[in-house]
């Protein structure tokens, strides 16, 4: 946790890693703050996810065309495959698959470029900086009015961007590839189950039913459902599921570090399709980064000398998440 002081000797804390953020703080952020994110950012992010999916679908055909997919931008991919489709030895399957994918890719790229073109200096000042201030207020407690300030007062842009980057890094940890089953929380050991719920007993049936209900809420974008899902499964060694244990966990796990919560979510994703939670519906960051191919920086557009930055991630490369000099 980073500590900083302001002029009147008040002290504030800014999270630097996922273990500095509690589940309760994260859930209220998703419900109350993340929903105010500028629409251009949300639209750009959705388009970027789809572009990455299309690039993945086209990857085998790019390889057949003799190019290296990971070295190409979306525009270069379109160019390579358009030339490929003009060859006389194109597989019949390609004639059914590739044209439609290329059309959708070009359309998505065009829409993305149109969004980026609207994100200039004035847009940044009126939309992105106030959103950053709301994020910083939520996680540090420094009042929004003091961050924005009046003419000649308030936090400097560079300080605001610095704190915002710190917070987003903490709230969007990259998955390390290590799946954990055991965690220590407030001096107690908690474990995830070694096997799936079998429904063979009434207790196991109740456990499975509660889990599935929460998982469905999670897939509907209910942020607090992540806490409820973990409260069902994460228990002390040898402890059986019960309504009392579930309710105890729901209350205590409000203080559970986000790092533990995301480790639990990744573990559940690995286990089976029943546990394949759609994390993209409730998180703001990098948890699906491993499934997203990074894109070259030269595809990003500059406006008024400001470069759209990929420093703050959301599902891999983020279009318009923030700007930098």
Does 66 have pLDDT greater than 50? yes
Q: How far apart are CA 232 and CA 228, in angstroms?
A: 6
pLDDT digits (tens, 9 = 90+) for 173-204: 666 656 778 889 999 999 887 665 554 555 66
Q: Where are the alpha helices (DSSP H) in the chain?
A: 23-28, 39-64, 74-85, 92-117, 121-123, 129-140, 144-148, 157-171, 202-219, 225-233, 243-252, 258-271
Task: Please report, for the chain, the start and end positions of each structural domain, with discontinuous segments joined by +.
Answer: 182-282
Q: Which position has the higher pLDDT, 15 or 276?
A: 15
CB 208 within 8 A of CB 197: yes
Is 208 exposed, middle or buried, given 0-12, 13-18 or 19+ CB atoms closer than 10 A?
A: middle
Is 282's pLDDT higher than 80? no
127-136, 149-158, 180-189, 301-310: which is most confident: 127-136
pLDDT at 110: 93
* Buried b / exposed e along 30-67 (16+ C-beta atoms within 10 A): beebbeebbebbebbbbbbbbbbbbbeebbebbebbeb
Q: What is the pTM of this model?
A: 0.72
C-alpha span between 174 and 1 (Å, rounded) = 18
- Measured CA to CA, the distance from residue 16 to residue 320 in angstroms comes to 22
Query: How many C-beta neighbours within 10 Å does residue 8 have?
Result: 6
Q: HSE-up of 143 (CA within 13 Å, CB side)? A: 5
Predicted local confidence at residue 275, as pLDDT? 37
Mean pLDDT is lowest, of 29-33, 204-208, 237-241, for 204-208
Cβ distance 258 to 286 under 8 Å?
A: no
pLDDT at 231: 87
Whole-angstrom Cα Rg for the chain: 23
Whether the predicted pLDDT of 273 surpasses 80: no
CB neighbours of 291 closer than 8 A, spacing ≥ 6?
none
The least confident of 35-39, 99-103, 275-279, 296-300 is 296-300
Q: How confident is the model at residue 268 (pLDDT cuts 50, 70, 90)?
A: low
The three-state DSSP-derived secondary structure of 255-295 is: HCEHHHHHHHHHHHHHHCHHHCCCHHHCCCCHHHHHHCCCC
Q: What's the Cα-to-Cα distance from 18 to each of 234, 262, 280, rounded to whole Å?
A: 18, 9, 17
* pLDDT recorded at residue 161: 93
Q: Which two tokens stand for residue 142?
A: 């420094």
pLDDT mean over 269-275: 47
Rounded distance between C-alpha atoms, residue 27 and residue 241, angstroms: 24
């Amino acid at each position: 946790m980073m500590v900083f002081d302001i002029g009147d000797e008040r002290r504030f804390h800014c999270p630097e890693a996922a273990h500095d953020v509690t589940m309760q703080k994260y859930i209220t952020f998703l419900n109350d703050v993340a929903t105010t994110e500028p629409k251009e950012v949300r639209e750009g992010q959705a388009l970027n996810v789809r572009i990455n999916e299309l690039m993945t679908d086209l990857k085998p055909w790019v390889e057949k065309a003799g190019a290296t997919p990971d070295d190409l931008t979306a525009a270069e991919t379109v160019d390579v495959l358009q030339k490929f489709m003009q060859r006389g030895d194109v597989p019949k399957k390609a004639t059914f698959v590739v044209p439609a994918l290329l059309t959708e890719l070009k359309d998505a790229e065009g829409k993305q470029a149109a969004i980026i073109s609207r994100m200039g200096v004035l847009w940044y000042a009126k939309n992105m900086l106030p959103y950053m201030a709301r994020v910083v207020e939520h996680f540090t407690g420094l009042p929004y009015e003091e961050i924005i300030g009046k003419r000649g007062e308030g936090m400097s842009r560079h300080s605001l961007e610095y704190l915002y980057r710190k917070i987003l890094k903490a709230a969007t940890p990259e998955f390390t590839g290590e799946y954990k089953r055991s965690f220590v929380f407030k001096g107690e050991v908690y474990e995830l189950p070694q096997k799936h719920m079998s429904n063979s007993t009434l207790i196991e049936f109740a456990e499975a039913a509660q889990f599935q209900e929460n998982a469905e809420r999670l897939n509907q974008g209910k942020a607090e459902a992540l806490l409820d899902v973990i409260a069902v499964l994460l228990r002390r060694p040898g402890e059986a599921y019960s309504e009392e244990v579930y309710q105890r966990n729901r209350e205590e796990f409000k203080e559970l570090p986000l790092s533990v919560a995301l480790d639990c979510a990744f573990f559940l994703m690995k286990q089976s399709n029943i546990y394949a939670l759609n994390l993209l519906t409730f998180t703001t960051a990098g948890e699906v980064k491993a499934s997203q191919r990074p894109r070259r920086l030269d595809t990003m557009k500059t406006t008024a000398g400001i470069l759209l930055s990929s420093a703050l991630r959301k599902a891999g490369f983020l279009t318009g998440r923030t700007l930098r000099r």
